[in-house]
Amino acid sequence: MTLFGQPLKAKVSFTPRYKDRRNAKANLVFVAGEKSPHEMDMDSKFYQAELAPGPREKDELIDKLWDKYNKKADKGTICHKVFEILAHIKLCDQNNQQYYNDTEILGMIDINNYDINLIIEKVYDYYISKFNHHEWSVADYNECKKWIFKALNYSDGIFDPRNKNIVQPEQHFDIEIKKEWAKYSYQTKIGQINGYLAIKGTMDLIARVNDDTLEIIDYKTGKRLDWATGQEKTLAKLHEDPQLMLYYYAIHKLYPDAKYVIVSIYFINDGGMFSVCFDKSHISKIENMLKNKFETIKNTTNPELNKSWKCTKLCHFGKNTFNNTNHLPIIEYRENQITPLGEHMTMCEQVHHDILVKGIDAVVDEYQAPGYNVGQYKAPGSAE
């Protein structure tokens, strides 16, 4: 079940991060642990209540705000890379290895003779060359450095990876759920697609607390908000947070001997540390959550079209039409639709229109990208 040649995914959480991500074996995947736009502290009330601009000025302001907060997310990526390197340095120390080889940026690091300021500087320089759509300044570098040291020094260094008993930095997971309810089977124009629901993601850091307990550490540089609702994530809400539940479920599969798992989220700039504890009694609840979401996706023949200001500012398919593509754009002929009468439908609206007219299976076949294999999932940001 795909749209625009990509698997129809239930995204639990989000970010464009430069990571080595593996292809999943299933084309229905829950993606956990990605950093996201909701790590950015855009407050829609800011331009509504404080500035109250006209329509054109509002659009321009949103674009400027979005670029600003998108840069903040990229700064978060810079910070995460530094924490990852420090965790690898500590892991080498635990394993009596003198050198850590960071193949992405720094090369060989002598764990007994390194300069953290130089690490920050080189990581910053590397990523601003990748994120060259922004204008970067000394102030941006200083802010990244401030966030990093704020995290390392918090509460006598409890979130400094070098003070942890490291199990695995940047723990990737790609786990098929071999349960009867998790099976899927779809007939497509390239043949039958069969498989199991998979969960896939990356956890910032896994550390050992004691023989029975592991700790998942997740660094957050943005605000403590739920991107979907705009509401603050309280400790009570974090206990029911799907991302954290999937983190625990992954740990349960990767490290089955762990009796207890603590998920510690450190909001560097908005509230400090929040910890949630899980044990094996939570497994059935998590699997029921996955089952219900999965069945909803499988049984959906007419996906709901949800529209907001995000569609025209953040989403490629909400901002563009099928003009200059290999699909014939449709002119809106119906009244009381989102696209004005007589104008080309956006990509999103045209696909929704065609699902209503032709059915989802026909639309999946028609809009599948040329040369794309619907049975192979590619993670967001994949360059393959």
Q: Is pLDDT at 38 greater than 70 in this prediction?
A: no
What rounded mean pLDDT belongs to the chain?
Answer: 79
Q: Are 13 and 200 in contact (CB under 8 A)?
A: no
Q: Is residue 374 part of a domain?
A: no
* Percent of the chain at pLDDT exceeding 90: 51
227 and 314 belong to one structural domain: no
Structural domain tally of the chain? Answer: 2
Q: Are 289 and 177 in contact (CB under 8 A)?
A: no
Instruction: Look at residues 298, 317, 335 and tell me which one is the last residue of a structural domain.
Output: 298
Amino acid 375: pLDDT: 58
**CA-CA distance, 161 to 135, in Å (whole number)?**
31
Q: What is the mean pLDDT of residues 61-80?
A: 71
279 and 327 belong to one structural domain: no
Q: Is pLDDT at 56 greater than 70 in this prediction?
A: no
Q: Are 347 and 321 in contact (CB under 8 A)?
A: yes
**CA-CA distance, 143 to 130, in Å (whole number)?**
18
**CA-CA distance, 143 to 135, in Å (whole number)?**
14
Nearest CA to 93 out of 76, 113, 78 is that of 113
223 and 145 belong to one structural domain: yes
Encode pLDDT of 159-168 as tens digits: 999 999 999 9
Q: DSSP code of 56? A: H
237 and 284 belong to one structural domain: yes
DSSP per residue over 324-341, as a string?
Answer: TSSS---B--SSSSSSPT
Q: What is the mean pLDDT of residues 309-316?
A: 78
**CA-CA distance, 280 to 251, in Å (whole number)?**
11
313 and 244 belong to one structural domain: no
177 and 254 belong to one structural domain: yes
**CA-CA distance, 148 to 144, in Å (whole number)?**
6
Q: Are 65 and 47 in contact (CB under 8 A)?
A: yes
Question: Which of helix, strand or coil describes residue 194?
Answer: strand
Q: Is residue 75 part of a domain?
A: yes
Encode pLDDT of 73-123 as tens digits: 899 999 999 999 999 999 999 999 999 999 999 999 999 999 999 999 999
Model's pTM, two decimal places?
0.72
Encode pLDDT of 363-376 as tens digits: 888 887 777 766 55
**CA-CA distance, 160 to 154, in Å (whole number)?**
8
Parent domain of 228: 11-298
* Strand ranges in 221-351 using DSSP code E only, listed in sequence order: 260-267, 272-279
Q: Is residue 365 part of a domain?
A: no
Amino acid 373: pLDDT: 64
Q: What is the mean pLDDT of residues 148-176?
A: 94
